Chains A and B, each alone.
Chain A
């Protein structure tokens, strides 16, 4: 089991550029989550999908952020245009809920720096 795979591991971009973060969940997991972590705000849920359908995007900070899950094995989080305050570590996690066992697994994260 390869776990949740995120790419790239690190991204440095200039303000105003488009950034696309990628995630491959664990095969068979039916939930996918995007989180953002900063020193100031900790881990924040941005959006989550169930069976490829977005369920709750209330955590997406603004219209510059968008997320898609075109199939069960791939999701993207896009920021356009990027701003310095978007600098953070972005984690993708997938989950298969069986009873009260949430089976959550996080990817290694993408460390984004916007200069």
Chain B
């Protein structure tokens, strides 16, 4: 079983739509959670951290359910510029600082 699992998509949605991505992780000791965005042929970039209480950044809302080991990302009023691959990322606490990436969910926002 992969450590971080995501629906690969692709998700093709019209501009203005709301889209949700889900992610599950296998290691219950995981402590920190993130969503990264990767544009085609570019490097991954941090989109937002995910906190237990849930957090929002403009049109983006991230939620964490530790009991179910589940992370979600909601994008409201999607824009053409949101087209990218969204990577779910987890890391363990302690001395291990490396990020473990999901395989990503591809989003295309259509005009």
Q: Please state if A107 and B101 are interface contacts (CB–CB under 8 Å).
A: no
- Asked, given contacts A91-B43, A108-B42, A108-B43, whether A42 binds B104 with beta carbons under 8 Å apart, the answer is yes
Distance in Å: Cβ of A90 to nearest Cβ of chain B: 11
Of chain B, the residue at the smallest CB distance from A91 is B43
Distance in Å: Cβ of B93 to nearest Cβ of chain A: 9
Q: Please state if A42 and B102 are interface contacts (CB–CB under 8 Å).
A: yes
Residues of B contacting A102 in the complex (Cβ-Cβ under 8 angstroms): 32, 34, 91, 97, 99
Residues 62-115 of A contacting B (Cβ, < 8 Å): 91, 95, 97, 100-102, 104, 106-109
Within the complex, which residue of B32, B34, B98, B101 is in contact with A56, where a contact is CB–CB below 8 Å? B98
Complex CA distance for A97 and B103, rounded to whole angstroms: 24
Q: Please state if B97 and A106 are interface contacts (CB–CB under 8 Å).
A: no
Interface size bracket, B side: 20 to 34
The verdict on B100 contacting chain A, using a C-beta distance below 8 Å, is yes
Residues 65-111 of B contacting A (Cβ, < 8 Å): 87, 91, 95-104
Residues of A contacting B102 in the complex (Cβ-Cβ under 8 angstroms): 42
Residues of A contacting B34 in the complex (Cβ-Cβ under 8 angstroms): 102
Apart from the given pairs A42-B102, A55-B95, A102-B91, 15 other A-B contacts in the complex at a CB distance below 8 Å: A31-B97, A42-B101, A42-B103, A42-B104, A43-B101, A45-B99, A50-B95, A56-B96, A91-B44, A97-B97, A102-B32, A104-B46, A106-B43, A108-B42, A109-B43
Residues of B within 8 A of A (CB): 31-32, 34, 42-46, 49, 87, 91, 95-104
